[in-house]
Structure 1
Amino acid sequence: MVSQKVVIKNPTGLHLRPAGILCKEAMQFKSLITFQFRENTANAKSVLSVLGACVKSGDEIELFCEGEDEQEALSTLVQAVESGLGE
């Protein structure tokens, strides 16, 4: 398992469009991909789970990837979040 903390840069946080982009990126990988925000853990492959985490701009999440392509998955998702998830 690999993990990394990343700060959400989108001005509106993880609302529907960036949540959808995050899920689309995560679904490319076989690994189990989750993130932790405060005490909650969300499945990065589920739009409803991502939206339910209520992540706002400037919040820090920790991404966790576990599986055969975990390292590639983590670097791809960190890069997507840092680039603003399409915003």
Structure 2
Amino acid sequence: MVSRKIVIKNVSGLHLRPTGVLCNEAIKYKSSIKFHFGNTTSNAKSVLSVLGACIKCGDEVEFICEGPDEQEALDGIIGVIESGLGE
């Protein structure tokens, strides 16, 4: 299991378009990819789960990857977030 915290920088937070980019990246990997925000844990491979977390600009999220390609998955997720999630 690997994890990392990151602050969401997108001005509009994780609305539908950046959520789609995040989920499309997450489904590329065999590992389980979840994230903690507030008191909840959500599945990063589910658009509804990500949207339901109501993540805003400036929120800190911890991504947790577990599985055969966990480090690659974490690097991919962090990379796509740092690149702006398509915005």
Instruction: Give TM class, smaller chain.
Output: over 0.9
Q: Is the 8 A contact 1:18 1:86 kept in 2?
A: yes
- Length-normalised TM-score, structure 1: 0.98
Letter in 2 for 1:21: V
Letter in 2 for 1:15: H
Looking at structure 2, the residues matched to 60 and 9 of structure 1 have their Cα atoms a distance apart, in angstroms, of: 9
* Structure 1: gaps spanning 5 or more residues: none
1:49 is matched with 49
1:83 deviates by 1.1
* Structure 2: gaps spanning 5 or more residues: none
Q: Is the 8 A contact 1:6 1:78 kept in 2?
A: yes
1:82 deviates by 1.1
1:32 deviates by 0.3
Question: How many positions carry a matched residue from both structures?
Answer: 87
Letter in 2 for 1:33: I
| Structure 1 moving runs of 4+ over 2 Å | none
1:36 deviates by 0.5
Letter in 2 for 1:48: L
Q: Indicate the percent of aligned positions where both proteins have the same amino acid.
A: 66
1:54 deviates by 0.3
Q: CA RMSD in A?
A: 0.4
